[in-house]
Chains A and B, each alone.
Chain A
């Protein structure tokens, strides 16, 4: 386990959040010891409001009591601060970095809203568009995987990298979307490379103990929808 670099490390999070999962996977990859502070349902904690006054959102990494907000910003921060610990999360080559960052932004801008719309059971029109957007997005990610992995197991090559974290932490939510719609988003026929990659990602040491179980995510989704309907 890597030492906490002379200062304690805390992560404020919430177990269903794919964004929090990104931060946890990055910390686990680097072997960083950290205290995980689970936000309780209901009003946000004082610590969270103080640490992220602009967005009031998780995840927030606290290192030497200084807050780092936004999941992929946390991933880059962890990658540099604990650079000596293990192999880099971001590629060394600037062009490859640009591709990883581009696709991570695409996931957040296009795939995430689709997942939310489907999981939340938005009105029909929005859901139809969301389903289409998710199908399109996964097709593009399959093509991106082929180019970026260069025949290896991950977007980052031999091991989990930046884009693996960005996309992989949504895998649980893709399954929820499949449950909700009865459709297949990641399937052997249309996205064989991603199916193989998903298994490798989910079974990785840095991921398997922190990835929420499907049943738990599905229960959570049902609860949210019931709550919203009231």
Chain B
């Protein structure tokens, strides 16, 4: 593959949106330079290239920045057209885009809520994940993705990348939170797809080792639990019932940023 242009990408090692971009670049066989970003202290580079959101990932192609992971993935696919990750058929493309939106709009936040839930809220959060996984399982069983190995068909496609890069958090949260999220009996097809996805060469090269992710998640969870109950409700988004100290405010911000990286 001819790649005469320069590619650099700013990301963060535990951020699932960063993994999406890395996986797409790897699948396309592209050569790129990577710059690790501290989520809490973005570099001047990142602030310059993503002034609106100030977040990873940011892809720099010949110095021009593309940000927002779904925008980046489509950009990569439309610029380097070998080994396409989007289907050719317009209706299939619409289906992929729809479920990508679902991943970011419904499933991801539901998974994030499990991680930030405390006490009685945890069961409701787990139920929320199950409700959303049911929708995907149904599509795999009877709907748009019936009979397929991957969402993209025989090969990993854009939707596999979007769903897959973040689904590892399901296993991590199962362990850290001691909950069951992907029961192979309830979600056999999703479970099988996820195991297959995680075995792929480029995926193994992209996703960090599970023990590193576990340690990271445990650290954030401990930070959260060490704060007051009021502060935790602030993180979850419910109205706080009391005052938080300025130390708590900084910790809340940090946890919020770190948590955002842990989404499907």
Measured CB to CB, the residues of A under 8 A from B are 54, 63, 66, 68-70, 73-74, 76-77, 80-81, 94-95, 97-98, 101-102, 105-106, 140
Tell me the bound Cα distance from A95 to B74 in angstroms: 10
Would B79 and A101 count as touching, CB distance under 8 A? Answer: no
Tell me the bound Cα distance from A182 to B75 in angstroms: 41
Instruction: Determine, out of B22-30, B86-94, B189-197, B208-216, the stretch whose residues face the partner at the interface.
Output: B86-94
Tell me the bound Cα distance from A54 to B79 in angstroms: 32
Residues of chain A within 8 A (CB-CB) of B201 are none
A202 to chain B, nearest CB (A): 27
Residues of chain A within 8 A (CB-CB) of B66 are 95, 98, 102
Would A68 and B94 count as touching, CB distance under 8 A? Answer: yes
Q: Is the interface of B mostly helix, strand, loop or mixed?
A: helix
Tell me how many residues of B have a C-beta within 8 Å of chain A.
Answer: 23
Would B90 and A80 count as touching, CB distance under 8 A? Answer: yes
Would A105 and B52 count as touching, CB distance under 8 A? Answer: no
Measured CB to CB, the residues of B under 8 A from A are 52, 61, 64, 66-68, 70-72, 74-75, 78-79, 90-91, 93-94, 97-98, 101-102, 106, 135
Would A140 and B94 count as touching, CB distance under 8 A? Answer: no
A70 in contact with B93 given A98-B71, A140-B52 (CB within 8 Å): no
Query: Can you name 14 A-B residue pairings with CB atoms under 8 Å?
Result: A54-B102, A68-B94, A69-B98, A73-B94, A73-B101, A76-B94, A77-B91, A77-B94, A80-B90, A94-B79, A95-B61, A101-B71, A102-B68, A140-B52
- 6 more contacts with CB within 8 A, not counting A77-B91, A94-B75, are A54-B106, A68-B94, A70-B97, A73-B94, A74-B94, A81-B90
Residues of chain A within 8 A (CB-CB) of B71 are 98, 101-102, 105
Residues of chain B within 8 A (CB-CB) of A54 are 98, 102, 106, 135
B163 to chain A, nearest CB (A): 15
A76 in contact with B93 given A94-B79, A101-B74, A106-B52 (CB within 8 Å): yes
Tell me the bound Cα distance from A76 to B92 in angstroms: 12
A143 to chain B, nearest CB (A): 11
| Interface core residue of B74, B97, B102 (most chain A CB under 10 Å) | B97
B18 to chain A, nearest CB (A): 17
Would A98 and B101 count as touching, CB distance under 8 A? Answer: no
Tell me the bound Cα distance from A105 to B100 in angstroms: 13
Tell me the bound Cα distance from A204 to B91 in angstroms: 28
Of all chain A residues, the one with the shortest Cβ separation from B102 is A54
Would B75 and A98 count as touching, CB distance under 8 A? Answer: yes
A93 to chain B, nearest CB (A): 9
